[in-house]
Amino acid sequence: MIDQDSPARFRPAAGPLPPSLQFNAQGRLRHLLTIEGLSGALITEILDTAESFAGMNAQAVKKVPLLRGKTVMNLFFEASTRTRTTFELAAKRLSADVLNINISTSATVKGESLLDTLRNLQAMYVDMFVVRHADSGAAHFIARHVAPHVSVLNAGDGRHAHPTQALLDMFTIRRHKGDFTRLKVAIVGDILHSRVARSQIHALNLLNTGEVRVIGPKTLLPAYVEDLGVHVFHDIRAGLRDVDVVIMLRLQKERMESGLLPSEHEFFQLWGLTEERLALAAPDCMVMHPGPANRGVEIDSRVADGPQSVILEQVSHGIAVRMAVMSTIMGGSMNQGSGA
């Protein structure tokens, strides 16, 4: 059972997670569970480290020995080919040994508890668990119960958080736009069910982004979202005006209750990103999507494949950013700390 006190909704908790949960006694990042509790300086350091790894794609040998002898286990209770593959590539390019566990055939299906499964896997001398789970708070639960030498990296938990997706999005924005303080960024679509949106909002605000907007129908915007430091728009045309970055979100149909959305066709007519609507943004506006994109539902194919789209860049940058996070946690090579 997942901890009942884990944040499963967008409503802000009384404060950030205790630093001791994500940081060790020396103030170094031990787990990455959420963007909350990090500092803008630490995020910038991770992005700087990712920059040093990004050039490896052009090298004949795409490997460095930073994590040689370490073992990383991808523990995915929820399917995601792209995310799991980029985590696997990131670990292997750092020279770590990688294990991928097929949860559908694991003992948890036979009735073994999550904690029992964790203890058995931990007995194999794993150094890091990369966890993806459909329940909010799963990564936090695991982080509270692992041995002192084990780190946990959240690859997405329920509606709560997807910190490495937010970091790779920040890396992509920074590469194209540089200074965040002058930017207007719009996040469009199913904010209510999106763990990516929550992490993006926190990261953008920690990097002092000029303005963060969320755009969507009232039924797909969570209560209290304004408390996260965003401007809310229900009219997509008004929300897109003069923005520098548009981040489209997938409709999370598997997490929706009935009645929230009349039809996909109607959603596209009212909220889909088309060339006409994109023209309202700044002329050099970049278009992003964490994927997988529903073409003709939240985004038109001509926009997804158009010159302003950086969707495939996001995928490529995911490897470098995840390498940076893993090396930061297990390599301990950076001067880290929590706080604002």
Q: Enumerate the known binding-site residues for L-aspartate.
A: 110, 195, 250
Active site residue 202: no
Active site residue 93: no
Active site residue 132: yes
Active site residue 110: yes
b/e map 98-133, b = 16+ CB within 10 Å:
beebebeeeebeeeeebeebbeebbeeebbbbbbbb
Of 70, 84, 140, 162, the active-site residue reads 162
Of 31, 84, 132, 184, the active-site residue reads 132
Angle of helix 311-331 relative to helix 40-54, nearest 10 degrees, comes to: 110
Query: d(Cα 129, Cα 309) in Å, to the nearest integer?
Result: 32
Of 82, 149, 265, 302, the active-site residue reads 82
Please state the residue numbers annotated as binding site for carbamoyl phosphate: 82-83, 132, 162, 165, 291-292
Of 83, 172, 209, 328, the active-site residue reads 83
Query: d(Cα 226, Cα 10) in Å, to the nearest integer?
Result: 10
Q: Are 128 and 73 in contact (CB under 8 A)?
A: yes
Of 81, 110, 181, 218, the active-site residue reads 110
Active site residue 172: no
Active site positions, annotated:
82-83, 110, 132, 162
